[in-house]
C-alpha cells in the first residue's frame, strides 16, 4: 500500500455514512444500517474497511465522516481513534449536496488549499492498490487544476441499475466528461458497453476545496448562500447552533444534480478497481466466496443439499440445514427470518415497509 508523505497533508477524505441501506433489510435497519454491518464476514464493517483504505491517502486526522446525528455513536464505537470533531452530523436528511457543501466550507476554513475525496462508506473495493493509485492521481490533478473529478468504473456488463458517465476519447488517463446519464434501458446499456466511452458513476469525487465551493456558488447558489452565512462559525463553539438552525433550510438534492451535471470542468479516471456498490443482496452474493453449488454462507456452519445459487446469512452462532432450494436469499437477523426468491429482490424494500406498517417500527 501507498504511504503518507508531506504533500498528503493537504489531502482530506469525506466518508459518506448517513444512508439507511433499506435494500439489505432485515439485516440493515434504520438504527443499524448497512455500513456498520460486517456484511462480508471479514470481522470488520464496511465503514471500518473504508476508513482503513483511506489511511493510505491522508493522515487519520484529515478523514471526516458525514452522517446523520443518530449514527454518531455508532461511528465512535467502530472507529476507536476518531475525534468527535471529525464527525459531521447532519440534523436532518437532505441528500448529499448539502452535507458536502457544509463539509467543504468547514474544511476550507481549516485549510484553504485542501484537496478533498468524497466517497461512500458501504462500497467494496477488491483492488485497493489500484484504487488508491487512481485516487492519488486525481488528487494531484485537482491540486493543479480547476476541476471536478470522479472515478469511473469500467462497465463489465450492460447494467441498468447504475448511472453512466460519457467521456471524450483521449490518450490521456484523465478524460474530459461529456455528460452524465441516468440509469438506461437495457438496449442503451448494451450500446454504452460496446462504445467503450462510458463508465459507471460510482459516486466517488475528488476536487480542490476552492473548485467545489465555486461550483456550488455557480450551480447551486441557494445551498452556497446557506452555508456561506456561517463561515465565521465553522470550527468554533457556535457551529452546531448555526447548523441546527440553517441546515434544514437546504434543498433536498444530490451532489450529481446540484453541481456535477451542470459543470463544464468535470473529468473522470476510468478504472477497474474490483468495485461493487453492494447495492442489493444479489450483488453481495456475486462477490462472496461460494461452494461448488454456487451458495454463499455466513454463520456458524451449514449443511446444504440439492441447494444452489443461494445466499445464506445467519448469526455467528447459528447453523443452517437446507435442502431443495435454488436461487433464494435466506437471511436471519434474530428478529426476522426472510426467505425470498433472488429474482424478486427488488420487492424487499416494499416488503420491509409492509412489515413495519403491519407489525411495528421495531422492524424498520
pLDDT of residue 192: 94
> How many distinct structural domains can be found in the chain?
2
Mean pLDDT of 76-86: 96
Task: Tell me whether residue 344 is in a domain.
Answer: yes
pLDDT at 1 over 80: no
Parent domain of 338: 281-363
Which of 221, 246, 276 terminates a domain? The answer is 276
Can you tell me the mean pLDDT for 305-324? 96
Distance CA 9, CA 58 (A): 6
pLDDT at res. 310 = 98
- 77 and 197 inside one domain: yes
| CB burial of residue 6 (10 Å; 0-12, 13-18, 19+) | exposed
The DSSP secondary-structure symbol of 292 reads T
**Using one digit for the tens of pLDDT, what is the confidence trace for 190-215?**
999 999 999 999 999 999 999 999 99
The angle that helices 209-219 and 221-228 make with each other, rounded to 10 degrees, is 120
pLDDT of residue 22: 83
Residues 287-299 have a mean pLDDT of 95
Q: Are residues 304 and 323 in the same domain?
A: yes
Q: Across all residues in the chain, what is the average pLDDT?
A: 94
**pLDDT band per the 50, 70, 90 thresholds, residue 343:** very high
DSSP alpha helix (H) spans, the chain? 46-54, 72-78, 96-110, 128-144, 186-195, 209-219, 221-228, 239-246, 255, 281-287, 348-359
Residues 339 and 195 in one domain: no
Residue 131 lies in a domain: yes
Close Cβ partners of 79 (under 8 Å, ≥ 6 residues apart): 47, 48, 51, 65
Whether the predicted pLDDT of 129 surpasses 80:
yes
Give the model's pLDDT for residue 180: 92
Domain end call among 276, 310, 328: 276
Q: What is the reported pLDDT for 354? A: 95
* Stretch 153-170: mean pLDDT: 92
Which positions ≥6 away from 129 have C-beta within 8 Å? 1, 2
3-state secondary structure of 262: coil
| Shared-domain flag, residues 71 and 197 | yes
pLDDT band for position 4 (cuts 50, 70, 90): low
Mean pLDDT is lowest, of 11-15, 34-38, 159-163, 266-270, for 159-163
Q: How far apart are alpha carbons 320 and 303 in whole angstroms? A: 6
Whole-number pLDDT of residue 48: 98
What pLDDT score was predicted for residue 201? Answer: 94
Query: Would residue 267 count as lying in a domain?
Result: yes
Do 19 and 128 belong to one domain? yes
Q: Residue 197's domain is classified under what CATH number?
A: 3.90.550.10
DSSP alpha helices (H): ranges in 220-324? 221-228, 239-246, 255, 281-287
Does residue 1 lie within any of the structural domains?
A: no
At 5 the pLDDT is: 67
Res 3 pLDDT > 90: no
Q: Are residues 140 and 248 in the same domain?
A: yes
Closest CA to 209 of 113, 86, 99, 66: 113
Amino acid at each position: 500500500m501507498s504511504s503518507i508523505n508531506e504533500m498528503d497533508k493537504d489531502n482530506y477524505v469525506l466518508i459518506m455514512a448517513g444512508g439507511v441501506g433499506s435494500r439489505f433489510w432485515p439485516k440493515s435497519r434504520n438504527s443499524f444500517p448497512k455500513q456498520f454491518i460486517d456484511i462480508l464476514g471479514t470481522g470488520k464493517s464496511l465503514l471500518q474497511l473504508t476508513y482503513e483504505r483511506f489511511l493510505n491517502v491522508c493522515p487519520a486526522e484529515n478523514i471526516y465522516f458525514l452522517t446523520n446525528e443518530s449514527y454518531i455513536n455508532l461511528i465512535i464505537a467502530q472507529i476507536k481513534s476518531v475525534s468527535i470533531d471529525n464527525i459531521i452530523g447532519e440534523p436532518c436528511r437532505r441528500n448529499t449536496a448539502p452535507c458536502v457543501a457544509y463539509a467543504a466550507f468547514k474544511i476550507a476554513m481549516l485549510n484553504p488549499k485542501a484537496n478533498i475525496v468524497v466517497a461512500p462508506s458501504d462500497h467494496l473495493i477488491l483492488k485497493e492498490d489500484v484504487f488508491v493509485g487512481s485516487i492519488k492521481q486525481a488528487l494531484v490533478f485537482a491540486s493543479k487544476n480547476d476541476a471536478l473529478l470522479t472515478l469511473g468504473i469500467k462497465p463489465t456488463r450492460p447494467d441498468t441499475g447504475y448511472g453512466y458517465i460519457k467521456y471524450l476519447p483521449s490518450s490521456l488517463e484523465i478524460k474530459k466528461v461529456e455528460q452524465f446519464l441516468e440509469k438506461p434501458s437495457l438496449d442503451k446499456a448494451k450500446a454504452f458497453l460496446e462504445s467503450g466511452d462510458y463508465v459507471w458513476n460510482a459516486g466517488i469525487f475528488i476536487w480542490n476545496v476552492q473548485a467545489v465551493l465555486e461550483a456550488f456558488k455557480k450551480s447551486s447558489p441557494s445551498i452556497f448562500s446557506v452555508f456561506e452565512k456561517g463561515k465565521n462559525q465553522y470550527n468554533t463553539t457556535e457551529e452546531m447552533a448555526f447548523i441546527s438552525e440553517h441546515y434544514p433550510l437546504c434543498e433536498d438534492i444530490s451532489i450529481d444534480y446540484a453541481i456535477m451535471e451542470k459543470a463544464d470542468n468535470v473529468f473522470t479516471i476510468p478504472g477497474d478497481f474490483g468495485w461493487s456498490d453492494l447495492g442489493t443482496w444479489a450483488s453481495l452474493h456475486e462477490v462472496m466466496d461460494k461452494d461448488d453449488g454456487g451458495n454463499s454462507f455466513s454463520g456458524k456452519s451449514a449443511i446444504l443439499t440439492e441447494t444452489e445459487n443461494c445466499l445464506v446469512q445467519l448469526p455467528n452462532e447459528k447453523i443452517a440445514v437446507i435442502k431443495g432450494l435454488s436461487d433464494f436469499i435466506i437471511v436471519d437477523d434474530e428478529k426476522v427470518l426472510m426467505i425470498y426468491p433472488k429474482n424478486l429482490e427488488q420487492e424487499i424494500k416494499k416488503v420491509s415497509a409492509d412489515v413495519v406498517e403491519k407489525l411495528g417500527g421495531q422492524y424498520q
